[in-house]
Amino acid sequence: MSAYIVSILTEGAIFGIMALGLNVIWGWSGDFDLAYYGYIAVGAYMTLVLTIGPATAPAHYILGLQLPYPAAVVLAVLSSMAVGLVVGLIALRHLRGIYFSIVTLGAVYVMYVLAGQYVPLFDGYNGLSGLFDPMGDWFGLDYLSYQWFLMGLCLVMFGLVLLFMWRLSNSRFGMALRTLREDERAAAAFGRDIYRLKLKGYVIGAGVGGFAGALFAAYLSAFNPSAWSPVEIIVLYAAVLVGGRGNIWGVVLGVFIMGILVQESTRFLPEVPGHPQIVLALRGVIIGLVLVLFLRFRPQGLLPERRYVDPQPKLEPATQTA
């Protein structure tokens, strides 16, 4: 039972970091980005190729270094940010609304097909494996105590990301991103560089996603195309939406609800003989249904974002100075 709680908390912390990164792009900047899961995957793949050492005989992959795990994580985050920068440069320039979503959907499928089919990159469909207990031997941990260590590590990192997001949320940059979401023209009229701000937010989001991917790689110790699929992003969107997009405490609540209640409650359903996927599929139906119902009846989520009100709404225009 304690192993079960350890695994839920580890997964929950990683899932929480993913959702907080997505919240920058969708919650604050307001762009429905479908490529996000690609950045998580880039983070996970890069962590693996930087730590597991050179490829042996039938396997092919790039790099194949044996860096210490923290160094690999930093490089993996930078890779995700680089990929996010490329996609953002193309997609954020002129496109908004569904056209932005369609181009990012395209981008993530290009990543998925390349990772899954182009063997020299990340060994194609076989994927990568062999990252066992990173940093474990530094502290001389055995298998069981390592699980506790990884849980602690993920929870601490989740806390740090949350702190970073909390600071970002109240910063001028965070405010500026929200302004873009509400009214781009007005923001431009006040001298905001829309493209730069959106791009900055997008790259930060991609980096946080890559960071979650790097932790995910340590948790799974392997990553391959059957471990991820671009549509899984729906679960993250459902979490952010249910909690309250734009509000980091709402996002945490959403992760708790979607992660713990939906993912875990269906775990105890009886297995139906001959239908191994039925529980997983039922979970998918529930997630889709929750997404549609919340969009329709409570789009602001359970913990809505605080609305900022002008403290001096009746200021005379003539008295304002530049």
Partner 1 sequence: MNEALLTLGFALVTASILALSAVAFTLEYAVTNVANVSHGEILTVGAYAAYLVHQRTGSAVAAALAAALAGGLAALAMHSAVIGPFIRFGATPTIVFIATLGMSFMIQNTLVIFFGAANVAYTLDPGAPQHIGPFLLTPLDLEIIASAIAITVALYLVISRTRFGKALRAVSQNRELARVTGINATRVAAATFFLAGLIAGYAGFILAESVGSFNPFFGFSFFLITLTAAVAGGLGRAFGTMVGAVLVGIILEFAGGYVSASYNLAFAFAILAIVILVRPRGLFTNARRTVFE
Helix (H, G, I), strand (E, B) or coil at 46: helix
Task: Pick the closest to residue 214 from 64, 73, 7, 112 (CA basis).
Answer: 73
At residue 95, what are phi and psi to the nearest 5 degrees?
-95, 140
Measured from the CB atom, the residue of 296 and 307 that comes closer to partner 1 is 296
**Cβ–Cβ < 8 Å for 60, 120:** yes
Q: Is 257 left (phi over 0), alpha (psi -120 to 50) or beta?
A: alpha
Q: Fill in the DSSP letter of residue 62.
A: S
Tell me which stretch binds partner 1 (CB under 8 A): 66-74, 94-102, 151-159, 190-198: 94-102
Told to check if 3 binds partner 1 by CB under 8 A, we report: no
Which pair of tokens denotes residue 317?
Answer: 């225009």
Minimum distance from residue 20 beta carbon to partner 1 (Å): 19
Candidates 144, 175, 292, 315: give the one binding partner 1 (CB under 8 A): 292
Distance in angstroms (rounded) separating the CA atoms of residues 235 and 283: 10
Least spacing, CB of residue 38 vs partner 1, in Å: 12
The dihedrals phi and psi of 304, each to the nearest 5 degrees, come to -65, 155
Q: Which residues of 150-178 are buried (b: 16+ CB within 10 A; e: fewer)?
A: bbebbbebbeebbeebeebbeeebbebbb
Kindly state the smallest distance separating residue 56's Cβ from partner 1, in Å. Answer: 25
* Contact call for residue 227 and partner 1 (CB under 8 A): no
Q: How far is the CB of 262 from partner 1 (least distance, A)?
A: 13
* Phi/psi-derived region of residue 304, left when phi > 0, alpha when psi is between -120 and 50, beta in every other case: beta
Binding to partner 1 in span 152-191, by CB under 8 A? none
**How many Cβ atoms are within 10 Å of 54's Cβ, its own excluded?**
11
State which residue, 62 or 95, has the beta carbon closest to partner 1. 95
- Interatomic CA distance for residues 22 and 236, integer angstroms: 8
Using the rule CB under 8 A, give the single segment among 61-69, 202-210, 219-227, 289-297 that binds partner 1. Answer: 289-297
| Site for partner 1, residues 238 to 257, rule: CB under 8 A | 238
Interface pick for partner 1 out of 8, 55, 96, 256 (rule CB under 8 A)? 96
Residue 19 CA to residue 175 CA, distance in Å, equals: 19
Closest to partner 1 by CB, 53 or 299? 299
Closest C-alpha to 305, from 249, 259, 256: 249
- The nearest distance, CB 125 to partner 1, in angstroms, is 10
Count of residues near partner 1 by CB under 8 A: 42
* CB-nearer residue toward partner 1: 147 or 224: 224
Stretch that binds partner 1, among 43-51, 126-134, 246-254, 270-278 (CB under 8 A): 270-278
282 part of the interface to partner 1, by CB under 8 A: yes
| Residues 98-117 close enough to bind partner 1 by CB under 8 A | 98-99, 101-103, 105-107, 109-110, 112-114, 117
The correct pick among 275, 309, 310, 316 for binding partner 1 (CB under 8 A) is 275
CB 302 within 8 A of CB 242: yes
Binding positions for partner 1, rule: CB under 8 A: 32, 90, 93-99, 101-103, 105-107, 109-110, 112-114, 117, 231, 234, 237-238, 275, 277-278, 280-285, 287-289, 291-292, 295-296, 299
